[in-house]
Amino acid sequence: MGIVSLTGFMGSGKSSVGVRLASLLGWTFVDLDRYLERRCSRSIPDIFREDGEEGFRRLELESLRALLAEQGDDAQLVLSLGGGTVTREEARNLVRTHTQCVFLRTRPETLRERLARSWRKRPLLNTDTMESLLESRLKDYMETASLVFDTDGLTPDEIAQRLYLHFKP
């Protein structure tokens, strides 16, 4: 029982792997970004545009706190975190304390390929900033995760299957 959280950079497969892993485990899947959007009745791009990154990070932390507080001792949840969720110390502490966190580590070349079609939908990302943003977050991902899983060359189904073997009841 418990909460398995997935962290990593945009395009690492957190949501697609999370849905599949939750299905294999028979658990609930929650994407923190979608949870935040429902809670705030606004889209992520709208929040960034209206409140800036600092406002978004504050709402993200509040949403993470609220979601974790909703879970009981018998929680069975796979949680996809936002790519920058663990950049705040308080969020890292919450994730470490309340979840088993997996860092889906992905090489920059693979991320670039996966994100090529969605640059405009991602408020903090463009081809020039991706590698420096990834580099600035690596320490936070590594510090938060209890398991590091390399995703390169694997499909979301293959990743979920391998993680299932690690977390199956």
Domains of the chain, first to last: 2-164 (3.40.50.300)
Residue pair 83/137 in contact by the 8 Å Cβ criterion: yes
Angle formed by the axes of helices 89-98 and 44-70, to 10°? 40
Q: Which residue has the higher pLDDT, 1 or 62?
A: 62
Position 34 scores a pLDDT of 97
Mean pLDDT across the chain: 91
Give the pLDDT confidence score for residue 129 in this predicted structure: 75
For the chain, state the CA radius of gyration: 15
d(CA 117, CA 20): 22
Of 121 and 153, more confident:
153
Q: Are 66 and 29 in contact (CB under 8 A)?
A: no
pLDDT digits (tens, 9 = 90+) for 114-137: 777 654 555 455 556 778 889 999
Q: Which two tokens stand for residue 84?
A: 């920058």
In the prediction, which pLDDT does 113 show?
A: 80
pLDDT digits (tens, 9 = 90+) for 14-52: 999 999 999 999 999 999 999 999 999 999 999 999 999
